[in-house]
Chain A
């Protein structure tokens, strides 16, 4: 049994004071920093993106739309949609559960769990995929068992979803834990003493408290899920028209089919989606602070 943590009582923060305006960057030090940042962003982000944009539309809009309209491309987007959305739903449910567990309870193995949640951030996604194959593959420890129960993990959607969840769950958990720790347990305890059940407390107190952080974490994890390559590459067996997601499709077009124009078109769509997700999360963060 996990003991509940004694609530950390904090003085209530003062009402938001107006944010201090950032200093104008005019000192020599700040000019150097600005220069470094601009070179970095320019060479590593803007230039490559600009080249892709240029290459995408250089052959003309017909080529662009034709590339996106091919059955392989449509199937790849569909796969990415299914895998990413399923993973995000699982991330949301498990992310809340794990974050509440880590932030609110003290139990044996808590630090270990916390370290394991973060593991996918530091381990290469390829390793994550390989580990899943070793466990759920046809000759893996649990492979035959799940196969017997009618679930094919490797080379099929379930495995791809699990691999995607694995690499993106930390984004949700890490967004939630600080907010849960800061808000403490007193609101839930007050609700309990007023007669609220565990479900009511979650629905009416905990979730509204973490709503902004949860949205932020979910949007970030969505961007990660859509772009995941390594783990999905290993787990999916990368079969065209079956388990090929949009990022895998880009890889195959570049490496096997040498169809660069089609690869640029898909890449462009992925960039737009990721960009939209980042803008959305930045907007949510801004709203949270005000």
Chain B
């Protein structure tokens, strides 16, 4: 159930957008398709919605083959990065659109639209035109519009990509809460790893038209399958030929066991965080201000460093020179 895709492939001319994608997205879960731009994640989402035709493979929605179904028969809610608001219709009529063309009774439409406007906190804006709303409000309207027809799945294509950082963060929290209330199978595309880690139940990392790894946020962060996933999901540095998270590096002022000697070449404080550049190793360590003060770190100090026992590390790929 949920969404199943098998062997999906898509080319645009010579460019391979997707290659043999197999995925399954659980019913009721909030899944993130995460990856760099141009990696194929939006194309995959559009194929699930029927807005793009795959060259190969099949799409199943709720157990039924939807590969050849027109978008309007898929019962899918789609939210676009740039809102795709119906510019000539009021907020109310935008949300009512799907119900009006289904010829639902007027009273039922009114009830449902008002419920949804309340859900997205736009009840006092019902009579405004989309042009009179802020970006965040427009995107909430687009979400209410998509939810109005009670879709089997909700697909969001970089839904917060066009918004400024603060609104982004608010909407992200709000989407998570909304999903906990509505429980519709949701897939959203993002290139922001923090957004994916914070909001989703499951993350699919897509790069160069292929799936790099699928898993829960913590699984991906703690047990990345390859250097790409590790470096895409969070900060990394190299120590002793291994990729390590800089916050997983232990720093000592005396030689300890397997720790390697290094010299602090630069010490940078960013709020509560202290970054120590370890010149001769080429890496850096991330410490809290307290740790740094306890160690009495200063630029030019000689230290010994090692990855904390039991933390994530994978062999570093050979550096391209």
List the interface of chain A (C-beta within 8 A of B).
9-12, 15, 183, 186-187, 189-197, 200, 204-205, 208-209
Find B82's partner among A186, A191, A204, A209 (CB 8 Å cutoff). Answer: A186
Asked, given contacts A15-B131, A15-B132, A192-B70, whether A10 binds B82 with beta carbons under 8 Å apart, the answer is yes
CB A1 to nearest CB in B, in angstroms, measures 10
* Given A9-B81, A12-B162, A192-B71: 15 more A-B contacts, CB < 8 Å: A9-B82, A10-B82, A11-B82, A186-B82, A187-B86, A189-B78, A189-B80, A190-B78, A193-B71, A193-B72, A195-B72, A195-B101, A196-B101, A205-B86, A209-B87
List the interface of chain B (C-beta within 8 A of A).
49-51, 70-78, 80-88, 97-98, 101-102, 131-132, 135, 138, 142, 145-146, 148-149, 162
Q: List 15 A-B contacts (CB under 8 A).
A: A9-B82, A10-B82, A12-B83, A12-B135, A15-B132, A187-B86, A189-B78, A190-B80, A191-B86, A193-B49, A193-B50, A193-B74, A193-B78, A193-B146, A197-B72
From B98, B146, B149, residue with most partner A Cβ within 10 Å: B98
Asked, given contacts A189-B51, A204-B101, A209-B87, whether A196 binds B72 with beta carbons under 8 Å apart, the answer is yes
In Å, the complex CA distance between A139 and B183 comes to 72
**What residue of chain B has the Cβ atom nearest to residue A194's Cβ?**
B98
**What residue of chain B has the Cβ atom nearest to residue A188's Cβ?**
B84
Note all chain B residues with C-beta closer than 8 A to A10.
82
CB B76 to nearest CB in A, in angstroms, measures 6
Note all chain B residues with C-beta closer than 8 A to A194.
72, 77, 97-98, 101, 145-146, 148-149
In Å, the complex CA distance between A86 and B132 comes to 40
In Å, the complex CA distance between A193 and B84 comes to 12
Contact A187 B74 (CB under 8 A): no
In Å, the complex CA distance between A51 and B258 comes to 104
Note all chain B residues with C-beta closer than 8 A to A187.
84-87
User: Which 10 residue pairs are nearest across A and B when measured between Cβ atoms?
Assistant: A194-B98, A186-B84, A190-B84, A193-B78, A192-B71, A208-B88, A195-B72, A9-B82, A192-B72, A193-B71
Note all chain B residues with C-beta closer than 8 A to A200.
101
Note all chain A residues with C-beta closer than 8 A to B101.
194-196, 200, 204
Find B80's partner among A11, A186, A196, A204 (CB 8 Å cutoff). Answer: A186
In Å, the complex CA distance between A186 and B77 comes to 13
Asked, given contacts A194-B101, A194-B149, A208-B88, whether A189 binds B72 with beta carbons under 8 Å apart, the answer is no
**What residue of chain A has the Cβ atom nearest to residue B70's Cβ?**
A192
**What residue of chain A has the Cβ atom nearest to residue B93's Cβ?**
A204
Contact B84 A189 (CB under 8 A): yes
CB B303 to nearest CB in A, in angstroms, measures 48
From A11, A189, A195, residue with most partner B Cβ within 10 Å: A195
**What residue of chain A has the Cβ atom nearest to residue B135's Cβ?**
A12
Asked, given contacts A187-B84, A190-B84, whether A11 binds B162 with beta carbons under 8 Å apart, the answer is yes
In Å, the complex CA distance between A196 and B89 comes to 15
Note all chain B residues with C-beta closer than 8 A to A197.
72
Find A193's partner among B51, B87, B135 (CB 8 Å cutoff). Answer: B51
Find B88's partner among A9, A12, A196, A209 (CB 8 Å cutoff). Answer: A209
In Å, the complex CA distance between A115 and B287 comes to 65
In Å, the complex CA distance between A10 and B83 comes to 11
Contact B82 A193 (CB under 8 A): no
In Å, the complex CA distance between A9 and B70 comes to 22
CB B102 to nearest CB in A, in angstroms, measures 6
Note all chain A residues with C-beta closer than 8 A to B148.
194
Find A195's partner among B51, B86, B149, B162 (CB 8 Å cutoff). Answer: B149
Note all chain A residues with C-beta closer than 8 A to B85.
187
From B77, B78, B162, residue with most partner A Cβ within 10 Å: B78
**What residue of chain B has the Cβ atom nearest to residue A13's Cβ?**
B131
Contact A12 B82 (CB under 8 A): yes
CB A201 to nearest CB in B, in angstroms, measures 9
CB A157 to nearest CB in B, in angstroms, measures 37
Note all chain A residues with C-beta closer than 8 A to B73.
195
CB A214 to nearest CB in B, in angstroms, measures 13
Note all chain B residues with C-beta closer than 8 A to A195.
72-73, 75, 98, 101-102, 149
Note all chain A residues with C-beta closer than 8 A to B145.
190, 194
From B83, B101, B162, residue with most partner A Cβ within 10 Å: B101
**What residue of chain A has the Cβ atom nearest to residue B158's Cβ?**
A9
In Å, the complex CA distance between A208 and B85 comes to 13
**What residue of chain A has the Cβ atom nearest to residue B94's Cβ?**
A190
Note all chain A residues with C-beta closer than 8 A to B71.
189, 192-193
**What residue of chain B has the Cβ atom nearest to residue A12's Cβ?**
B82
Note all chain B residues with C-beta closer than 8 A to A15.
131-132
Note all chain B residues with C-beta closer than 8 A to A205.
86
Note all chain A residues with C-beta closer than 8 A to B87.
183, 187, 209
Note all chain B residues with C-beta closer than 8 A to A189.
51, 71, 78, 80, 84
In Å, the complex CA distance between A124 and B80 comes to 47
In Å, the complex CA distance between A197 and B72 comes to 7
In Å, the complex CA distance between A191 and B78 comes to 10
In Å, the complex CA distance between A183 and B98 comes to 20
